[in-house]
Structure formats: structure tokens, C-alpha cells
Amino acid sequence: MSYAVKLSTFEGPLDLLLHLIDKDQINIYDIPIAQITSQYLTYIEQMQTLDMDVASEFLVMASSLVSIKARMLLPRTKVGPETEEEEGPDPREELVQKLLEYKKFKEVASFLKNQERQAGKVYTRNNHIDMYQHLFRPMDPLCGVTIEKLLTSLQSVLQRAGANLTIPGEITREEIQVPEKMRQLLAMLVLYPEGMVFSRLFANTASPTEIVVTFMAILELLKGGQISVVQNETFGEITILRRAQVLSEEA
């Protein structure tokens, strides 16, 4: 009866040495060079027996191991007559450094390979800006209403209030601030979820100054995107709405 012998495929001589060290749980900083050399040469002989191609780098490493083994057998000079320490570098030092460096790169390569394998299980959707542009339509608070139409409506309100460019008699100063008027308009529009006609924003007793300040407040709110104006008919009234109401209707 014949038995099939299967050997693991190693990426190089350092890979084979690490396999032997891990298999026997050897301290990589104190490698028993005779034992490792013997096992390494056994693997090489098995590869040759099975007619497997043995790369030259495996044979070079075999020669290096035999050389290190020979240097380990040579006597080394004592540092002092009363000490057991020996001078000169450890013949295994260069091999240990190469093994440590190779082990580090191997672990990094294994980590990256695992990350690639995990990423292969994830399906990502193709993203492009054109796919989302319809969700972010440009804000147009005027909704087709031109500034000329707003000025025409303002002129109608001023005419209704009897305002003129020259007003005879004593002129009293009115302390009306645009920010305060903006807050008043927003609070007023909360009561009108369907919008409020432009002319109704101005009280019948409003002075020309208050009308102008109110109009400036409307323009500031339009600029800040807090309100929007619409005109449902060609020559119809202009309606003012809070921007939050407009967005909810568009959604």
C-alpha cells in the first residue's frame, strides 16, 4: 500500500522557517539552530523526492542554516576569566531580524487580505450627484413673482393710505425697526397656514413709514428664505406664506 504525502506550499524559505518555529512553539529569539536546520533539510529532501521544484532561495537558506550551525559549534572567546559571557555577535542574530521583519509583513498582508475579503461581501450602490439633485431643488422664495409686481402692490397700498412724496405739515418721527417688524410678520403668518394676501399685511391706518418698513421686512424675510410669495393668477393678489408651509406643500 502506498501513502500520498502532501506538503504545504510556502512562499519562501523564511515562510518555511516560521512554520517550523510556530509548529514546535520555539522562542524566535533563541532558535535551536541544530533542530531547525535538521527539520528544514528534511522538508527540502521531501520536496525533491516528490519531484517538486525547489527554488534556489530555499537552497541558499539551507546553506545559511548549515553555516550558522557550524559557527554555533565553534568555541567563542570569553570576555573575562571570571565570567561566563562570550564576546562577538550571535550567529543567529541576522536570521532572527529577518524572521521578525518577515513575520511583521506577513501579518500586515494577512490583515489586508481579510479586509479585502470582508469588503467583497458588501455591495455598494453607485452614487452620483445627478441621482440626488431632484431632492435638493433650488429654493425660489419668489416662485415666479417679480420684484416689479411686488413694487406695484406696494404702490397700491401706499395710494390706498394716501401717501405722497411731499407731506405738508409737521412730520413726526416713527420708531419702527425692521427686525421687530419681521418678527411681527412671522408671528402673524402662523395664524394663516394657507397664506395671507399681501395687502392685508398693512393696516388701514398704517402710515407711509410703517408701510415702507413692512415692505423692507418682507424683502429681508424673502432674502433669508423664511417666507415665500406666490401669485396664483396672472393679475391676482400676491400671497405671502411662511417658508415651512411652502416646503411641506412641496413634499
Which domains, from first to last, does the chain contain? 13-116 (no CATH), 135-165+177-250 (1.10.10.580)
Q: DSSP class of residue 227?
A: E
Angle among Cα 154, 160, 163 to the nearest 5 degrees reads 80
Q: What's residue 6's pLDDT?
A: 45
Quickly count: other Cβ atoms within 10 Å of residue 36's Cβ: 20
Rounded to two decimals, what is the model's pTM? Answer: 0.42
Segment 208-232 shows an average pLDDT of 82
Q: What's residue 251's pLDDT?
A: 45
Cell of 153: 402692490
Q: How many Å from the N-terminal Cα to the C-terminal Cα in the chain? A: 80
Highest-pLDDT range among 59-63, 119-123, 241-245? 59-63
Angle subtended by helix axes 33-49 and 56-73, to nearest 10? 150
Q: What's residue 78's pLDDT?
A: 59
Question: Cα 26 to chain center, whole Å?
Answer: 44
pLDDT tens-digit profile of 148-190? 777 777 777 677 666 444 444 454 555 678 888 889 888 888 8
Residue 192 and residue 173: Cα distance in Å, rounded? 32
Segment 50-77 shows an average pLDDT of 79
Residue 37 and residue 20: Cα distance in Å, rounded? 10
Helix H or strand E segment including 94 = helix 93-119
pLDDT tens-digit profile of 91-113? 888 899 999 999 999 899 889 98
